[in-house]
Homo-oligomer: A and B are copies of this chain.
Amino acid sequence: MAYRSLAKNSKSFLGPTAPRKRFDSPSELTRLSKSTIVNERVGSRCHPLTDLRQNKLLYNYEEEIKGCFDQIVPVLKKVSELQHEKDFVKRAQQLSLDELGYELPNHYLDKAWVCPLDMRAIFAWCTFRSHQEASSRFFSSDPLEGSELSEQAQEFQTFLDKCGFHLLDVSPCADGRLAHSIAYALRIPFSAVRRRSHAGALFDVENTVNRWVKTEHRRYRESLPNAASVPTRYLKVVVYHFSSVDPSHQGCAAHGSDDALAASAGLQRLLDFREAVENSFCCGASVDLLLIGLDTDTDAIRIHVPSSDGNIALGKWISALELYQETISLTLNRAEKRIEEAIKDNVSGDVDPGMTNFVSRLIINNFSQIDYVKEFYSGSYPDAGHAERFIGVGIGFKEVHLRNLTYFAHLDTVEEGSPDLDVGVKIFKGLNVSRELPIPIVIRFDYSGMVPGAKERAKADCIRVNDAIFMRYRDLVDDGLLHTLMTIRDRDQKGPAEVVGSSLDPSVQEAH
């Protein structure tokens, strides 16, 4: 299935592959925007099933948070111009307060009279500050309406249960272009899902079996989310990705931008997980699996629907973009019916009604995202490649749900996670170091406040990982081209993350 070479020649385009971008030329977009409005939503050519209110909410959030990060460089350029002027510190602070909303660190500004400002450090400091503010806001005001207490999360949990699933566990690729998979592309309330990002979506089988055991134990002991006797399943989902605009360069780096390879490796990992559960436990223990592909240009998904006997075909999927186009002119009911038909048509054999409902909902949710990208990004993101603002390292980051904001290296130790982290550092060498800017790394360890000593161990984990990063990337650190912020968070509480140290702290700087 050499899709890569097929994709280069549209004339020999015979088999199914990634959905191709449809809205990439301005002329076509103009033509589309001028075409007949086929539904009753005046002023936007969007799908009748699209949630316009949610789209607006999500866009405002994305624009606001990314805006905070993207203002840093322009403001710091102005600060740089001021550095030899009289009253520099005062003027710089006023400027920063006016334009960024916070003051800059005095222990860097104070040195401007004697040596050039360490703009790298100040840039990293501002990036960390922006992250902290976004993080705190996320936990205090639930801007994505997806917290455990939200109506959305409760409704989704009920829906999931009706579909026959007691836990939804999704592994997207660690790539920043999938960081918004849950809250945006799939429109799932973040608290109703377990997310574990890994390079190439290649999640850890042993860890996932442990999570399965914990889930079952809770069902047995506490009947949460339901009793173990209820015949619902643990649903494990892999989200691999590809690029319809530039399939051979902007696909998944972990799989050499080969979408067929990304899909088959993801499926194999899913099958390994199922076999591990089936072989390790008695009494018919098993799990349900789902394989999803995401086009990082349009955010349109494709779903390899599993048959009721658990088979998943790599070469068969339903494309949300094709269904979007096919149903955009239909009534709500007819559109929904058509989606259900498509699900059944794309599987050899039967599909469980619960799985049909679940897949159907994901497709409909994704219609909103297709319209989101159409409306706000002209149908295809301008940042087809990487454009992350920082690297997130460790365990946690429940609050990160924006595309291209964070490259995430989910790890306990740098020793085990270095392949993922190296990819992140390589990406940021291109994004930041090439512009003489440092790589900002936020370290996070979530802990359970109910476990004695867990907070202290989380702090110690931060310091250990920080030290390992400094050891591994010593050249970058020595040149001021890599900075870290250490944070911890009590996962049993609703509160924000807590900063426990940074390479930019005054004491750390003095020690250098």
Contacts and interface: CB of A to CB of B under 8 A. Distances in A.
Interface stretch (A85-93, A159-167, A215-223): A215-223
Interface string A457-494: 10000001000100000000000000000000000000
Interface in A254-286: 271-272, 275-276, 279-283, 285
A206 to B, nearest CB: 7
Interface of A: 205-206, 209-210, 213-214, 216-217, 220-222, 228, 271-272, 275-276, 279-283, 285, 412-416, 448, 450-454, 457, 464, 468
Contacts of A279: 450-451
A214 B220 CA distance: 12
A206 B207 CA distance: 14
Contacts of A209: 451
A222 B206 CA distance: 20
B275 A222 contact: no
A387 to B, nearest CB: 30
Contacts of A275: 451-452
A221 B282 contact: yes
Contact of A276 (B206, B210, B416, B452): B452
Contacts of A451: 205-206, 209, 272, 275-276, 279-280
Contact of A282 (B210, B214, B222, B412): B222
Work out how many copies of this chain go into the complex.
2
Contacts of A222: 281-283
Contact of A453 (B272, B280, B448): B272
A420 to B, nearest CB: 13
A283 B416 contact: no
Contacts of A283: 221-222
Report the 6 A-B pairs with minimum CB-CB distance, sorted nearest first.
Answer: A279-B450, A220-B220, A272-B452, A276-B451, A415-B415, A413-B415
Nearest to A278: B450
For A217, A413, A416, A454, the residue with the greatest tally of chain B CB atoms inside 10 Å of its CB is: A217
A314 to B, nearest CB: 18
A253 B281 CA distance: 41
A462 B72 CA distance: 44
B206 A281 contact: no
A454 B205 contact: yes
B220 A221 contact: yes
A293 to B, nearest CB: 22
B416 A464 contact: yes
Given A280-B448, A464-B416, A221 B216 contact: yes
Nearest to A416: B413
A37 to B, nearest CB: 52
A141 to B, nearest CB: 28
Contacts of A415: 413-415, 464, 468
A140 B416 CA distance: 33
Residue from A214, A275, A415, A454 having most chain B Cβ neighbours under 10 A: A415
